[in-house]
Amino acid sequence: MKTLICKAPGEFEYADIALPELPDNYSLLQIKRIGICGTDLHAYEGTQPFFNYPRILGHELAAEVVQTQADSGFTVGEAVTISPYFYCGKCIACRMGKPNCCASINVFGVHIDGGMKEFVAVPTYSLIHGQGLNFDELALVEPLAIGAHGVRRAAVTEGEFVLVLGAGPIGLGTMEFARIAGGKVIALDINDQRLQFCKDRLGVAHTINALAPDVLDQLKTITNGDMPTVVIDCTGNLKAINNAFQYMAHGARFVLIGLQKNEIVFSHPEFHKREATLMSSRNATSVDFDHVVASMKKGLVNPTNYITHRVAFDDVKANFASWLDPKTGVIKAMVEMG
């Protein structure tokens, strides 16, 4: 079967490999869609933490079941997506009901080879019923679940201001689920085109360019002098994260969905006097996946808003580098298989 391998940063190669073996309690899937996410782009750039090469990328997947166990609850031919966070089930995190941060987690397409190939074998426990969603929608469940998990970590409540840093796909999904939770969303980004997208496609009322000299003043005006009670970073940019500590209201929560390699630096007195809360948000859980699917089915989220580019699998290598260029206006590139 055909696959696409990231041999090293900036280097892709198509190859013909054998069909995957099917261990006990695994299911065989035929890939139909692959969403390209920031993790894939950062891996191609060589800036993704927890990463080794060569690697087959791809974890935002929509697929059709080809083979599964008789008692799996899934049927051959069924449309599915997957939760790509393969966990041990035994460590302290798993025992606490947090398999999303399993001590020995293997994220499909990050720690182990992923879905940029015609067929994959995955643990049956990772399958998620399609429930009538189409392949485009199913490929977007996982990235939206990342944002849904971050919003749940923040415990967003009705009427509070939620500042989301970064208007990429993860940030946009975070804005959506902050809105669904009742938050009043403020989008912060350095790209005016993406900020306009937030207004036009997602109905975000408040947008700020992070390069403006009066970001603090704009936030004070929007929040009636209070500042946001929830700040969520979706940039993974060190400067953006460090700057955002000054954007918090007293008593605020700061959630880091974005990930970068270096140390975070902030003023302890400023943080302490706010009695602020800092937390990370890693991956997502089944609760978040269920919330995303239910929100899609209710029409609360229109996942096709995010798809700006489409490409056939055979053309991914030729187009991939262009998706790193903000001038292309890419929000979500969708790879079509078959």
Read out DSSP for 72-102? SS--TT-EEEE--EE--S-SHHHHTT-GGG-
**Contact assessment for residue 109 and residue 115, using Cβ atoms and an 8 Å cutoff:** yes
pLDDT at 85: 98
DSSP 3-state of 192: helix
**Contact assessment for residue 62 and residue 120, using Cβ atoms and an 8 Å cutoff:** no
Q: Is 99's pLDDT higher than 80?
A: yes
Residues 127 and 240 reside in one and the same domain? no
Question: CATH no. for residue 72?
Answer: 3.90.180.10
Band of residue 80 on the pLDDT scale cut at 50, 70, 90: very high
**Total domain count for the chain?**
2
The pTM of this model reads: 0.95
Residues 134 and 27 reside in one and the same domain? yes
Asked if the structure places residue 297 within a domain, the reply is no
Residue ranges making up the domain that contains 208: 147-280
Residues 209 and 130 reside in one and the same domain? no
Residues 325 and 223 reside in one and the same domain? no
Residues 275 and 307 reside in one and the same domain? no
% of residues, the chain, pLDDT over 90: 92
Asked if the structure places residue 296 within a domain, the reply is no
For 40-49, what is each residue's pLDDT tens digit?
A: 998 999 887 7
Encoding tokens for residue 219? 């936030």
Asked if the structure places residue 62 within a domain, the reply is yes
Question: CATH no. for residue 153?
Answer: 3.40.50.720
Residues 207 and 111 reside in one and the same domain? no
Residues 90 and 159 reside in one and the same domain? no
pLDDT at 303: 84
Band of residue 249 on the pLDDT scale cut at 50, 70, 90: very high
**Contact assessment for residue 230 and residue 154, using Cβ atoms and an 8 Å cutoff:** yes
Asked if the structure places residue 288 within a domain, the reply is no
DSSP 3-state of 196: helix
Asked if the structure places residue 291 within a domain, the reply is no
Residues 244 and 155 reside in one and the same domain? yes
Range with the poorest average pLDDT among 137-146, 149-158, 258-267, 314-323: 258-267
Q: Are strands 85-86 and 106-107 parallel, antiparallel or unpaired?
A: antiparallel
Asked if the structure places residue 45 within a domain, the reply is yes
CA–CA gap between residue 305 and residue 300 (Å, rounded)? 12
Residues 24 and 153 reside in one and the same domain? no
Report the chain's mean pLDDT, rounded to a whole number.
96
Residues 190 and 121 reside in one and the same domain? no
